[in-house]
Structure 1
Amino acid sequence: MAKVLIVEDDQSIAEMMTIYLEEEGYSVATASDGAEGKHLLQETDPDVIILDVMLPDTDGITLCGEIRSVSLKPILMVSAKKEVSDRVNALLVGADDYLCKPFSMRELAARLTALLRRSSMAPAAEAAAAKEVRQSVQVDMVRRCLYVEDRAVETTYSEFEIMKLLWLHPGKVFSREELLNKIRGLDTYVTERSVDVHITNLRKKIESDPKNPKYVRTVWGVGYKFVPDGES
């Protein structure tokens, strides 16, 4: 049974989500503010977190960043704010998805399913390739760790999924749409801009010169590819 932590100060919305998700077979814990949310995060160790942007004691964007600094569990932000800048800010601090209010419970459940599916995937082929050395960049699929020249690099859930996909297929060019479908699922609405944000953040973390990337290259008009050492 997957565990969900809901951090939402609107009691009616929190209750509606709780009732629906429990009927869908989830175990649900709820918090009405950021302080309680951080406490329950440690106490319940949820598999996925639903986090409201507007909270009484803090804003959800700040709390998202604080959670991401200690946990790689997928985070779904929910908010009445619909501007692109709001969604981008959430992604920049580590959110894995963003759902605008009002939303249907079916869509909420579909997004959670997509996030949980990708966070739990560990195919035998990937496990066998765990921490396989591809020169400077290494990806440990079992421990979900990224290394650059043996230095551990912290990533968000989506950043890791993008890097893993590119790393497993060196030289193959993936379009933004393909990356979206791979890391988010066909049932989750996101924009191609989300991929660009994740790529930018990855480059800042793994490239010595993010403006002239060595590993994660742009193929103009097509998408992105991973280039191992010694290849052009």
Structure 2
Amino acid sequence: MHKVLLIEDDDIIGEMIRMYLTEENFLVLRAHNGQEGVLVLNEFEPELILLDLKLPDFEGTDLCNTLRKITTVPIIIISANSKVSEKIKAFTVGADDYLCKPFSMHEMKARILAVLRRLKQAPPAMKTVHALNHSEAPKSVIDVNIEKRILFVQGEATEITFSEFELIKLLFGNPEKVFRREDLINGLRGFDYFVNDRSIDVHITNLRRKIEKNPKEPRHIKTVRGVGYKFVL
């Protein structure tokens, strides 16, 4: 049974989602505002957060940013705002998917399961290459623990979003391979997962800030002009 934290102030929509997911064998805890959502997070320990963008006490993107600083749990934004700029903003502050209202409950369930599946499954080839003994401190400047979903930089665990981890896992697992943006989009996309060239660039920018000494002159995540990106050890 998957545990979902729903942060939604609209009683009608909130109860519809809660009832549907409960009938689909999810364990759902609904928080009516952002403060309540933050307070119950640690005790409930959800596997995924459904976050409404319009809340009485928080701007949704501000709350998403706050949640991302304290948890690596995947976050799916639900919003009536379908503007691409709003979606990009949400991804920039740590959202992993974006679902526009009105939406089908079946689509919502599919997106939840797609995100959870990506969380639990790593490509077998990459598991083989990187299933190393991480009981010892990582020796390389950058290292990725697939099983625990941890990015190490200079031996220190680094805060990272769900989508950023999926991206660095793909790049790190294939050093020197040049990935087209289309390849990276397909690597992140689930059931109609909203990701495009711009969001890939945003994720790359955020990753460079976290792993590069000088993000403006990256040593590890290189841009291949006219093509895409590659990772250099």
TM-score, normalised to structure 2's length? Answer: 0.91
Matched, 1:39 2:39: yes
Q: Which has the higher mean CA deviation after the structures are superposed, 21-30 or 184-193?
A: 184-193
Q: Are the aligned partners of 1:14 and 1:30 in contact in 2 as well (CA < 8 Å)?
A: yes
Matched, 1:160 2:165: yes
Q: In the superposition, relative to structure 1, how do residues 215 and 134 fare at CA in structure 2: closer, same or farther (>3 Å)?
A: farther
CA RMSD, 1 decimal: 1.9
Q: Which residue of 1 aligns with 2:182?
A: 177
Q: State the shift of 1:107 in Å.
A: 1.4
**What are the equivalent positions in structure 2 for 1:114-193 lying under 5 Å apart?**
114-122=114-122, 125=128, 128-129=131-132, 131=134, 135-193=140-198
Q: In the superposition, relative to structure 1, how do residues 15 and 49 fare at CA in structure 2: closer, same or farther (>3 Å)?
A: same
CA distance in 2, matches of 1:48, 1:186: 16
CA distance in 1, matches of 2:191, 2:224: 23
Q: In the superposition, relative to structure 1, how do residues 56 and 177 fare at CA in structure 2: closer, same or farther (>3 Å)?
A: same
Gaps in structure 1 of 5+ consecutive residues: none
Q: Deviations along 1:105-126, whole A, 9 cap, x unmatched?
A: 1211111111101111255536
Q: State the shift of 1:149 in Å.
A: 2.1
Q: State the shift of 1:24 in Å.
A: 2.0
CA distance in 1, matches of 2:220, 2:180: 16
Q: Deviations along 1:114-161, whole A, 9 cap, x unmatched?
A: 110111125553662364968321111122211222233211111111
Q: Deviations along 1:20-75, whole A, 9 cap, x unmatched?
A: 21222211111111111112212210000000011011111111111111100000
- Paired letter, 1:171: E
**What are the equivalent positions in structure 2 for 1:1-232 lying under 5 Å apart?**
1-122=1-122, 125=128, 128-129=131-132, 131=134, 135-228=140-233
Q: Which has the higher mean CA deviation after the structures are superposed, 131-140 or 98-107?
A: 131-140
Q: Are the aligned partners of 2:78 and 2:99 in contact in 1 as well (CA < 8 Å)?
A: yes
- Paired letter, 1:193: R
Q: Which has the higher mean CA deviation after the structures are superposed, 219-228 or 68-77?
A: 219-228
Q: Matched residues, percent identical?
A: 50
Q: State the shift of 1:198 in Å.
A: 0.4
Between Structure 1 and Structure 2, how many residues are aligned? 228
Q: State the shift of 1:184 in Å.
A: 2.9
Gaps in structure 2 of 5+ consecutive residues: none
- Paired letter, 2:155: D
CA distance in 1, matches of 2:228, 2:139: 22
- Paired letter, 2:18: T
Secondary structure of 1:210's match?
coil
Q: Are the aligned partners of 2:188 and 2:195 in contact in 1 as well (CA < 8 Å)?
A: no
Q: State the shift of 1:78 in Å.
A: 0.9
